[in-house]
Amino acid sequence: MMNNDSVSNRHDFLLLFEVTNGNPNGDPDAGNMPRLDPNTNRGIVSDVCLKRKVRNFVELFPAARESDAQNGFNILIKQGSVIETQQKRAIAACREPESMAGETLPERVKNWICREFYDVRTFGCVLSTGDEVMKGSAFGQVRGPVQITFGQSFHSITPLEVVLSVCAARNEAEGKGGKPPTEEEVAKATSAQTGIQGRKHIVPYALYSAKGYISPSFAERTGFTSADMELLFQAVLQMFEHDRSAARAEMIVRRLFDFEHVGTHQVFAVAGLLDAGVGMTELGEHRAQLPLVHRLLEAGAEGGAAAELNALPDAVGQQQRDGAGDDQQHREQVEPLALAYEVNQALHLRRHCRHCRLRPSLERLGYG
């Protein structure tokens, strides 16, 4: 069974891969030479190149789809694909409001495409093309939860130019005036098509690193699940194994390090609850199953929620002074407040707030 739970924590991953006597990523503007940083002469592999390898792997080895309502593993961005064609399929399938989650047709179309195409819900895509339904819509640009940086070699590289020679002619010789070719014409045509016919460039050896990031908030928007993340890591680890060519015969992934920021889902979730107007005394009920939200920048302890936050410490302090409050009740009330303070601190850093409205309340309880 696949794990279709949402990605609840932020992930940063580091990829190490090497090339031996190959061209990891040719530059079409430089005669297909390996990409180089002109300032350091370090080799470069573009993010698009790495994403292409992931797409190719998923297309070759898609995960089993349990039902039409579950995520599919088709690939939208591939050779010969037309985005508008898939948009029309999505629009036709989402005309009825009950056909797909979403209040408007553009939102339902976006959700349908994210559900059907693995690469869209993973890396994102620009859908504001073709049909007028998506043009100018806020759902026409999908930001994917997975972002990958350029790969860069640890040391400077010196590409080598290799000359290619051919011993067999490609085309038959043609005679003049529709007559059969003479021996001289055959020899001339064969000579022109054999011998040195091209050049290619290789990197003798280089070790590259690339970084990647997975955002739980964007994962919730596109429907990117834990099963999708497992497939992503599988694809990254084996992306060169099924992409061999004369230029990439000896490329291999050496290490993949995944750093999971455990607990970050609580900060996002509490921020979302505050934004939705959930009272602080109710947060304890949501602690076990806090849903992920994507409104971190807009969320915060404001309005009625902030008023309740500041009133709660006074009530708890009065109970302590009267001797009526027990430790368990105190802990149940203060724990969500401390968690909300963590959220507000994160928002404070992101939004450059002038002050933190929760600090005075927590300091009175000894949590400052």
Q: Give residue-wise pLDDT tens across range 308-346.
A: 444 444 444 454 445 444 555 544 544 444 445 444 544
Closest CA to 358 of 350, 332, 342, 299: 342
* CA of residue 68 relative to chain centroid, distance: 23
Each residue of 12-38: pLDDT tens digit? 999 999 999 999 999 999 888 999 999
Please tell me which of 59-63, 179-183, 325-329 the model is most confident about, judged by mean pLDDT: 59-63
| Two structure tokens written together for 8 | 């609840």
Each residue of 140-175: pLDDT tens digit? 889 999 999 999 999 999 999 887 777 777 777 777
Task: Identify whether the C-beta of residue 271 lies closer than 8 Å to the C-beta of residue 300.
Answer: yes
pLDDT of residue 328: 54
Domain ranges for the chain, please list them.
10-152+201-261, 265-364
pLDDT of residue 218: 93
Q: What is the mean pLDDT of the chain?
A: 75
Is the confidence at residue 359, as pLDDT, over 70?
no
Closest CA to 166 of 137, 129, 196, 139: 196
pLDDT level of residue 199 (50, 70, 90 thresholds)? confident
What is the rounded CA–CA span in Å between residue 310 and residue 302? 11
Calculate mean pLDDT across residues 64-84.
89
Cβ atoms within 10 A of the Cβ of 312, count?
20
pLDDT of residue 264: 53
What is the rounded CA–CA span in Å between residue 215 and residue 263? 13
pLDDT of residue 308: 43
What is the rounded CA–CA span in Å between residue 168 and residue 187? 12
Cβ atoms within 10 A of the Cβ of 335, count?
13
pLDDT level of residue 277 (50, 70, 90 thresholds)? low
Which amino acid belongs to residue 219? A
What is the rounded CA–CA span in Å between residue 105 and residue 1? 32
255: buried, middle or exposed (CB in 10 Å: 19+, 13-18, 0-12)?
A: exposed
* pTM of the model as a whole: 0.67
Is the confidence at residue 281, as pLDDT, over 60?
no
Is the confidence at residue 133, as pLDDT, over 90?
no
What is the rounded CA–CA span in Å between residue 202 and residue 43? 11
Please tell me which of 189-198, 285-294, 330-339 the model is most confident about, judged by mean pLDDT: 189-198
Instruction: Give the pairing of strands 251-261 and 141-143.
Output: unpaired
Instruction: Give the pairing of strands 10-22 and 26-27.
Output: unpaired
Q: Compare 126 and 339 and report the one with higher pLDDT.
A: 126
The angle formed by the CA atoms of residues 234, 236 and 238, to the nearest 5 degrees, is: 70
What is the rounded CA–CA span in Å between residue 95 and residue 236? 37
Please tell me which of 55-59, 344-348, 358-362 the model is most confident about, judged by mean pLDDT: 55-59
What DSSP designation does 281 have? G
* Least confident window among 106-120, 176-190, 332-346: 332-346
Range list of H helices, the chain: 47-60, 83-93, 105-116, 118-123, 183-193, 216-222, 226-238, 264-275, 283-286, 303-322, 327-351, 359-364
Each residue of 75-102: pLDDT tens digit? 999 988 888 888 888 888 888 888 888 8
Task: Identify whether the C-beta of residue 203 lies closer than 8 Å to the C-beta of residue 22.
Answer: yes
